[in-house]
Amino acid sequence: MGQGLQSRLMGMLDVVYPDLDSGFLADQLIQAMGLTADTPAPPDHTNNWSESDTLLITYADSIQRSDEKPLVTLRRFLHEQFGGTLSAVHILPFFPYSSDDGFSVMDYLAVNESHGSWRDIEAIAREFRLMADLVINHMSARSRWFENFRKRVDPGQDYFYEAAPDTDTRLVVRPRTSPLLTPVQTEDGERYVWCTFSEDQVDLNFRNPKVLLEFVGIIRYYLERGVQWFRMDAVAFLWKEAGTSCIHLQQTHELIKILRVLIEHHTPDAVVITETNVPNRENLTYFGNANEAHVIYNFSLPPLLINTLVTGNCRHLKTWLMSMPPAQIGTTYLNFIASHDGIGMRPTDGLLTEDEKQTLISTMEHFGGKVSYRQTSGDGQQAYEINIALYDALKGTEDKGPDKWQLQRFICAHAIMLALEGIPAFYIHSMIGTENDYDRMEHTGRLRSINRAQWNIEDLEARLADPLSHHSKVCGELKRLIGIRRKQPAFHPNATQFTLHLGLQVFGFWRQSVRRDQSIFCIYNITDEVRQVALSDINLIGTDCWVDLVSGLKIDDLSGEITLKPYQSVWLSNRE
């Protein structure tokens, strides 16, 4: 097995570092991960998830109490509100940082003292599967590594990617409008460093294998502290090559494979997730041949689902769903509608027309949202993401504006997400119905802060305890739906999925358990008007007994119709 591991690594290393001794480097990587020559390989094609898995996404300090560290407050809140409901939690970067709410890391091996300690992280990991960010593309310009880069000493002097100021970067794809090359003064004079995201986030140089070895050590450190799921942040930009787009290059894919092999040999049930906010076809490549990411984000789902619910037309959502390949065993999708970032527009390329994109943007702006832009080839700019809290994004429709159906529309969106093939992930502010935070956005000067509110725990708990509060209604109903989902084999992330054709105002799909002992027909009215669905159009098996898992209503007459109120969700199952 040990020789097998070395051989596997060498094949991938030969692609990334063709001029180096791949056998020697493979041995260094194996040692850095704490493995040995006889470490057994993990079983192939294993699903390290089930229908009982639901993920929560949160910052360490999204919920605060004045007299304690936020990670302590978060752990207690998770335990009291979601124990037995959620199985996993993604704590966004909890390291010391200099900008971008954590994604400009200063020290990968430390916990931000203002948040808490590794002991607090480990306490959460004992109750929930813990997902952490591997901020692998770039590092803070205020980090020790970068200070060493300036001083031209190790570790760090050759850890960051440099380019000549006259480098032709016209083909480079990136999500920002800031300058790509930033001049910095070093002991060797002025150097230009590559900054895909901002001048404070300097891209790391993976052409230097020492950087890869450093990250293997970092990953091992996280594993030993309870991290099981790894979100590889901005990984698509990892490798740079002159004259190319510098995104999705083959060396990047090989580096992901290398890290996955090492991670699974250390912890067989660990999971690698790639964060690649790009058009759908590009995103799918990160599955590789079931040997890269175990899980990829369904980045097209948020804009398409929001567009469906504000237009009352599911044509594009249905077309996209029919085009999605079933994930191989051992891989799956991560379904989400909201996150700490905005609603990405690049994943709508080829799925919405330019006019439809602009109409969606205008609707979201009408509901209080903001828009950020990215640089395109030459001097052009294009909408990159819409910044808005999901509860406000669903406050009305494209043609009528805000209406009385905001809560129902919001619940419908999540009922769709919960039933789709893949693992559902809830942003904490969706779970509690947080609205646009304009004060925080103005305070930070960053558009994304509109959806990064920070709650005082006493205020939040009071609202969740108030049955008339929309926060209480949202949280209560979402927990109820998650509870139903957890018990259904047909909602396993890899269970069969088939799109139904029920017109453009009713969205539907069918799920069947791996053992074929349960079928669930998931049907949704995505409009603000009452709709009728003929049961004969769904082809329910007459010898089975059918029940709506959401309402508990039993279906006795299969020749009849079901009446769907505005934004009502129905999960018709042949077992209770």
CA–CA distance, 429 with 389 (Å, rounded to integer): 8
* CB 204 within 8 Å of CB 16: no
Q: Is 485 one of the annotated binding-site residues?
A: no
Query: Residue 403: which domain range?
Result: 55-135+207-343+390-491
Q: Is 100 one of the annotated binding-site residues?
A: yes
Torsion sign (Cα): 529, 535, 537, 540: positive
* 430 in the same domain as 306: yes
Average pLDDT over residues 160-174: 94
Active site residues: 233
pLDDT at 212: 98
* CB 121 within 8 Å of CB 217: no
Both tokens of residue 266?
């250390």
pLDDT at 102: 97
* 517 in the same domain as 473: no
* 545 in the same domain as 404: no
At a CB cut-off of 8 Å and minimum separation 6, what does 151 contact?
A: 157, 186, 187
At a CB cut-off of 8 Å and minimum separation 6, what does 314 contact?
A: 308, 504, 505, 506, 507, 526
* CB 339 within 8 Å of CB 57: yes
Q: Angle at which helices 406-419 and 470-485 pack, to 10 degrees?
A: 20
Q: Please state the pTM of the whole predicted model.
A: 0.96
* 560 in the same domain as 532: yes
Q: Is 248 one of the annotated binding-site residues?
A: no
SS (H, E, C) 417-485: HHHCCCEEEEEHHHHCCCCCCHHHHHHHCCHHHHHCCCEEHHHHHHHHHCCCCHHHHHHHHHHHHHHHH
- Residue 249 located in a structural domain: yes
46 pLDDT tier (thresholds 50, 70, 90): very high
* pLDDT tens sequence across 292-346: 999 999 999 999 999 999 999 999 999 999 999 999 999 999 999 999 999 999 9
At a CB cut-off of 8 Å and minimum separation 6, what does 567 contact?
A: 309, 405, 408, 409, 411, 412, 524, 525, 526, 527, 528
Phi/psi at 156 (5° precision) = 135, -20
190 pLDDT tier (thresholds 50, 70, 90): very high
At a CB cut-off of 8 Å and minimum separation 6, what does 389 contact?
A: 338, 429, 434, 435, 436, 437, 450, 451, 453
Last residue of a domain, one of 445, 467, 491: 491
Q: Helix or strand or coil: residue 557?
A: coil
pLDDT at 377: 63
* 416 in the same domain as 545: no
Residue 374's H or E segment, with its range, is strand 370-375
* 544 in the same domain as 516: yes
pLDDT at 1: 39
pLDDT at 188: 94
- Residue 367 located in a structural domain: no
Both tokens of residue 43?
């079983």
Residue 144: count of CB within 10 angstroms of its CB: 13
- Residue 382 located in a structural domain: no
511 pLDDT tier (thresholds 50, 70, 90): very high
Average pLDDT over residues 533-548: 91
CA–CA distance, 136 with 93 (Å, rounded to integer): 12
37 pLDDT tier (thresholds 50, 70, 90): confident
381 pLDDT tier (thresholds 50, 70, 90): confident
At a CB cut-off of 8 Å and minimum separation 6, what does 516 contact?
A: none
- Residue 279 located in a structural domain: yes
Say whether pLDDT at 176 is over 90. Answer: no
pLDDT at 246: 97
At a CB cut-off of 8 Å and minimum separation 6, what does 521 contact?
A: 500, 508, 510, 538, 540, 570, 571, 572, 573
Average pLDDT over residues 126-151: 98
Q: Helix or strand or coil: residue 342?
A: coil
| Average pLDDT value over all residues in the chain | 96
63: β partners? 455
pLDDT at 378: 59
* 328 in the same domain as 262: yes
Q: Helix or strand or coil: residue 194?
A: strand
* 548 in the same domain as 423: no
* 300 in the same domain as 214: yes
What CATH number is given to the structural domain containing 507? 2.60.40.1180
pLDDT at 3: 56
CA–CA distance, 517 with 499 (Å, rounded to integer): 19
Last residue of a domain, one of 491, 526, 560: 491
Last residue of a domain, one of 441, 461, 491: 491
Q: Is 528 one of the annotated binding-site residues?
A: no
- Residue 328 located in a structural domain: yes
* pLDDT tens sequence across 468-489: 999 999 999 999 999 999 999 9
539 pLDDT tier (thresholds 50, 70, 90): confident
How many Cα atoms are found within 13 Å in the side-chain-facing hemisphere of 503? 13
Least confident of 256-270, 278-292, 468-482, 533-547: 533-547
576 pLDDT tier (thresholds 50, 70, 90): confident
Both tokens of residue 151?
């001083």
In total, how many domains does the chain have?
2
pLDDT at 267: 97
- Residue 458 located in a structural domain: yes
Both tokens of residue 49?
């998830």
* 428 in the same domain as 533: no
The pairing of strands 201-203 and 455-456 is unpaired
Average pLDDT over residues 172-196: 95
pLDDT at 177: 86
DSSP state of 505: S
* 252 in the same domain as 106: yes
DSSP state of 287: G
Amino acid found at 464: L
- Residue 260 located in a structural domain: yes
* pLDDT tens sequence across 15-26: 999 999 999 999
* 554 in the same domain as 457: no
- Residue 316 located in a structural domain: yes
CA distances from 235 to 109, 155, 278, 450 (A): 19, 22, 11, 25
pLDDT at 2: 42
466 pLDDT tier (thresholds 50, 70, 90): very high
138: β partners? 203
Both tokens of residue 413?
């969106």
CA–CA distance, 431 with 422 (Å, rounded to integer): 18
Q: Is 429 one of the annotated binding-site residues?
A: no
Q: Is 340 one of the annotated binding-site residues?
A: yes
* pLDDT tens sequence across 199-257: 999 999 999 999 999 999 999 999 999 999 999 999 999 999 989 999 999 999 999 99
What CATH number is given to the structural domain containing 451? 3.20.20.80
